[in-house]
Amino acid sequence: MSLQVRIRPIVLVLVAALVVGGCAHSAKKEPSASAAGESRVEQTPEYEAILRESITRELLAAARIGDAPASKILFKRPYYFKEYFSYPNAEDIFVLDFTETESRTIPLTAEANVEKIRFSTRVHQKREDARIDENFLRDTGIETISYELRNGKWHRQASLFVADKTEENISGEWQSIRDRPERHILEPEQPKGGWRRLLFWR
């Protein structure tokens, strides 16, 4: 009888210890996962607002630098040409698409789709021919710009411009150039040597 009395308290103590330990373990896990989920959901709108404001400033500045009077002669081996461009809806209309990742260093990526109009001359083998060429073609299409969120700040990665319409100014009127393939312009950010590569297909 005394043996049963001694065993029961020991069993009760062990059961109580297991229950308390299990509750403490699950309580430790659940808030962590919940907090991580809530953190991402709550901060995404803030990051979107920051990125949208940054892109707007970027596009407006780029359009000012790239206007017609400031068009420069560009050299993309082995050709010379001139170009300038504009973003007709830079201030308020562009589409942002966010993607959450499993990476701790890059928790979010984003793509911005913006309307772009690019004016460029045909390519020339000689610099002087490009300098005197004032016959610009007009490409209208969508530029996709990719960004990564690192250390709480957005970083631009690359851009791809796909022109769905190409026109030529003939006698003061823009006329569509038929039977021309889409023109793709890829601009990776900060390549070696500080130069931006420009790939184009005509």
- Please report which confidence band the pLDDT of residue 39 belongs to, taking 50, 70 and 90 as the band edges: very low
The answer, yes or no, to whether residue 188 has pLDDT greater than 60, is no
Write out pLDDT tens, residues 40-95.
434 567 888 899 999 988 888 876 655 555 578 889 889 999 988 888 887 777 88
Distance CA 176, CA 51 (A): 35
What backbone torsions phi and psi does residue 198 show, to the nearest 5 degrees?
-125, 115
State the amino acid at position 30 in one-letter form: E
Parallel/antiparallel/unpaired status of strands 108-120 and 183-188? unpaired
Parallel/antiparallel/unpaired status of strands 137-150 and 153-170? antiparallel
Full-model pTM: 0.63
**pLDDT given at position 108:** 92
CA atoms 164, 169, 174, 179: torsion sign: negative
Query: Among 8-12, 41-45, 172-176, 177-181, where is mean pLDDT lowest?
Result: 8-12
How buried is 90 (Cβ within 10 angstroms: 0-12 exposed, 13-18 middle, 19+ buried)?
A: buried
Residues in the chain: 202
Distance CA 49, CA 200 (A): 33
**pLDDT given at position 149:** 93
Query: Among 11-15, 140-144, 194-198, where is mean pLDDT lowest?
Result: 194-198
Q: Which residues of 114-134 are buried (b: 16+ CB within 10 A; e: fewer)?
A: bbbbbbbbebbeeeeebeebe
Distance CA 86, CA 68 (A): 10
Local structure of 142: helix, strand or coil: strand
Per the model's pLDDT, the better-predicted residue between 166 and 66 turns out to be 166
Are 186 and 200 contacting, i.e. CB atoms less than 8 angstroms apart?
A: no
Mean per-residue pLDDT, 185-194: 49
The answer, yes or no, to whether residue 4 has pLDDT greater than 80, is no
For residue 192, the 8-state DSSP code is G
| CA-to-CA dists, residue 79 to 82, 85, 86, 121, 135, angstroms | 10, 19, 23, 11, 16
SS3 content of the chain, % helix, strand, coil (to 5): 40, 40, 25
Look up residue 16 and give its two tokens: 């109580």
Distance CA 40, CA 134 (A): 51
**pLDDT given at position 30:** 43
The answer, yes or no, to whether residue 112 has pLDDT greater than 90, is yes
Mean per-residue pLDDT, 154-168: 94
**pLDDT given at position 107:** 92
